């Protein structure tokens, strides 16, 4: 089910990244009091009053002067208009209405998209009167907020989520495995789609970024139905590309959200670069089953240790995804292509697997007996009961005497023991601690 999308848009240095961090509850965006510090659009997921949504921080792109700033602001507004269901238009109470604000307002007004006007930096009651001039922008009542002090965020989210459409229901049956191909430009995603389908269904070119949008392609092999979701290549941060390129990462994010399995395609000739880690991180954070697909393996000079060395490199570079299997292949020559679908089937099963509660409790009890949780200020974690509450990804709740005593390292230890017992290859496993109540 695709979540509605909220985009935060506005000129540089109005506080978009600060508000984004407040909403998602994590300091993902770099915040500094200097225009244009956010070099990359960032994406997160959040929930307000039971309504989940995706949120985009449309940070400033690399800028060299006034004209570039305006181009950047317009590009961000275009992204929000094209991709978002609701737009938070952020302005600055201290600066008042600027020419750039008016330009963005005109674009948003013509878009017919729902817009919530947020006036940031209303840090005290004395500044409350500063919001009234913003009525002239034409978006109804401005909402006074302070990113620095966390004021008004609830009112802002209430206004934005009220305007969201209902989440889109998935158009495919439950037994269909939805596979998103993700990766930076020119790693061979479209060629891999064609190789799997055995026909030229997607335009293939060696010009980076040929695929502009996500394309769904259903097919069936040995009675198993699949949908391949091919996405535009994800770009490096800090560069300005033609306007159609600006939408590619958001569409890739939507594809990941809709998928069961993410194929993280890596160029075997070039090896691993930093951008590959960002892309893999999106799939991991979204809780998707994942496979590293090292493409163009036919073009790599090899000996009997090359594959082993490359796998070791992946494990070292992607420490947060040691669960994801690695498949080496060539979409161009179909070398080792036959190995991919069985791995997709396997990780999809693991992603949807549910463990009986009594078995899960047996494994955790044994793990605790072998290695009791360390004490903290004289208190020791006690796990009373464990149950799996969700699949896709497998999600486990531990009812404990005090959630604060569940250290990250001990949580990782329990995850490793659970994986050793039940496999869960290819899928993240999420473990949460909750205080045992009388109802539990």
Residues in Cβ contact with 69 at an 8 Å cutoff, skipping those fewer than 6 apart: 11, 12, 35, 36, 60, 63, 100
Looking from the CA of 45 toward its CB, the CA atoms found within 13 Å total: 16
Ligand-binding site membership of 286 (annotated): no
| CATH pick for 357-435 out of 3.40.50.12160, 3.40.960.10, 2.40.30.10, 3.30.300.20 | 3.30.300.20
| pLDDT at residue 253 in the model | 74
Structure tokens at 159: 């206004």
pLDDT band at 369 (very low <50, low <70, confident <90, very high): very high
Answer yes or no: is 433 a known binding residue: no
From 3.30.43.10, 3.10.129.10, 3.40.50.300, 1.20.120.10, which CATH number describes the 5-162 domain? 3.40.50.300
10 is in an annotated binding site: yes
120 assigned binding-site residue: yes
Residue 233 among known ligand-binding residues: yes
Q: Is 296 annotated as a binding residue?
A: yes
Average pLDDT score over residue span 236-240 = 40
Does the annotation list 288 as a binding residue? no
How far CA 14 is from CA of 114, 138, 142, in Å, comes to 20, 19, 15
Q: What DSSP state is assigned to residue 168?
A: B
Confidence of residue 68 (pLDDT cuts 50, 70, 90): low
Of 140, 30, 142, the C-alpha closest to 96 is 142
For the question of whether the overall pTM of this predicted structure is more than 0.75, the answer is no
For residue 1, name the pLDDT band (cuts at 50, 70, 90).
Answer: low
Which pLDDT value is given to residue 211? 41
Contact of 12 with 32, CB cutoff 8 Å = no
What is the total residue count of the chain?
440
What is the pLDDT confidence band of residue 37, given thresholds at 50, 70 and 90? Answer: very low
The Cα–Cα gap between 408 and 364 comes to: 16
Q: pLDDT tens across 124-158, in order? A: 877 788 899 999 999 999 999 998 888 999 999 99
With cut-offs at 50, 70 and 90, classify the pLDDT of residue 256. confident
Consult the annotation and say whether 295 binds a ligand: yes
Give the CA angle between residues 23, 73, 89 to the nearest 5°. Answer: 40
Q: Residue 70's pLDDT is what?
A: 64
Tell me which of 285 and 369 has the higher pLDDT: 369
Above 60 in pLDDT, residue 40?
no
Residue 183 known to bind ligand: yes
The pLDDT value recorded for residue 75 is: 67
**Residues contacting residue 209 through CB under 8 Å, at least 6 positions apart:** 185, 186, 232, 233, 235, 241, 245, 248
d(CA 184, CA 189): 9
> Please, where in the chain does CATH 3.30.300.20 lie?
357-435
The CA distances from residue 89 to 9, 29, 56, 226, 401, in Å, are 5, 18, 12, 39, 44
Q: Identify the CATH assignment for 177-351 out of 3.40.1180.10, 3.40.50.300, 3.40.50.720, 3.40.50.800.
A: 3.40.50.300
Q: How far apart are CA 157 and CA 118, in angstroms?
A: 10
Delimit the CATH 3.40.50.300 region(s) of the chain.
5-162, 177-351
Q: Is 185 annotated as a binding residue?
A: yes
122 is in an annotated binding site: yes
* 57 belongs to an annotated ligand binding site: yes
* Residue 297 labelled as part of a binding site: yes
Q: What percent of the chain has pLDDT over 90?
A: 49
């Amino acid at each position: 089910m695709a979540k509605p999308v909220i985009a935060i848009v506005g000129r540089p240095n109005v506080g978009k990244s600060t508000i984004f961090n407040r909403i998602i509850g994590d300091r993902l965006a770099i915040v500094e009091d200097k225009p244009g510090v956010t070099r990359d659009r960032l994406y997160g997921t959040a929930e307000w009053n039971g309504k989940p949504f995706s949120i985009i921080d449309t940070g400033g792109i690399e800028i060299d002067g006034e004209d570039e700033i305006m181009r950047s602001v317009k590009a961000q507004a275009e992204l929000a208009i094209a991709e978002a269901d609701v737009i938070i238009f952020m302005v600055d109470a201290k600066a008042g209405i600027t020419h750039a604000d008016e330009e963005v307002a005109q674009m948003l007004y013509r878009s017919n998209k729902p817009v919530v006007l947020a006036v940031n930096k209303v840090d005290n009651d004395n500044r409350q009167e500063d919001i009234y001039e913003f009525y002239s922008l034409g978006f109804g009542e401005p909402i006074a907020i302070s990113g620095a002090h966390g004021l008004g965020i609830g009112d802002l989210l209430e206004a934005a989520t009220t305007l969201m459409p209902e989440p889109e229901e998935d158009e495919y049956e439950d037994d269909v495995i939805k596979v998103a191909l993700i990766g930076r430009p020119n790693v061979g995603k479209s060629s891999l789609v064609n190789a799997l389908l055995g026909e030229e269904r997607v335009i293939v070119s060696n010009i980076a970024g040929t695929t502009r949008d996500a394309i769904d392609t259903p097919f069936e092999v040995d009675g198993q139905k699949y949908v391949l979701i091919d996405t535009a290549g994800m770009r490096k941060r800090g560069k300005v590309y033609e306007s159609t390129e600006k939408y590619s990462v958001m569409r890739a994010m939507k594809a990941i959200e809709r998928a069961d399995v993410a194929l993280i395609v890596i160029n075997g000739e070039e090896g691993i670069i930093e951008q590959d880690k960002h892309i893999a991180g999106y799939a991991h954070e979204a809780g998707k089953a994942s496979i590293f697909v090292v493409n163009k393996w036919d073009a790599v000079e090899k000996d009997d240790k090359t594959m082993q060395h490359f796998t070791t490199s992946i494990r070292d570079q992607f420490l947060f995804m040691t669960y994801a299997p690695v498949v080496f292949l060539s979409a161009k020559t179909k070398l080792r292509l036959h190995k991919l679908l069985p791995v997709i089937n396997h990780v999809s099963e693991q992603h949807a697997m549910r463990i009986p509660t009594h078995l899960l409790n047996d494994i955790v009890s044994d793990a605790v007996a072998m290695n009791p949780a360390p004490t903290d200020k004289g208190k020791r974690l006690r796990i009373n009961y464990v149950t799996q509450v969700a699949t896709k990804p497998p999600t486990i709740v531990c009812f404990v005497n005090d959630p604060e005593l569940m250290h990250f390292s001990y949580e990782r230890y329990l995850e490793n023991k659970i994986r050793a017992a039940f496999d869960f290859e290819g899928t993240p496993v999420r473990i949460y601690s909750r205080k045992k109540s009388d109802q539990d």
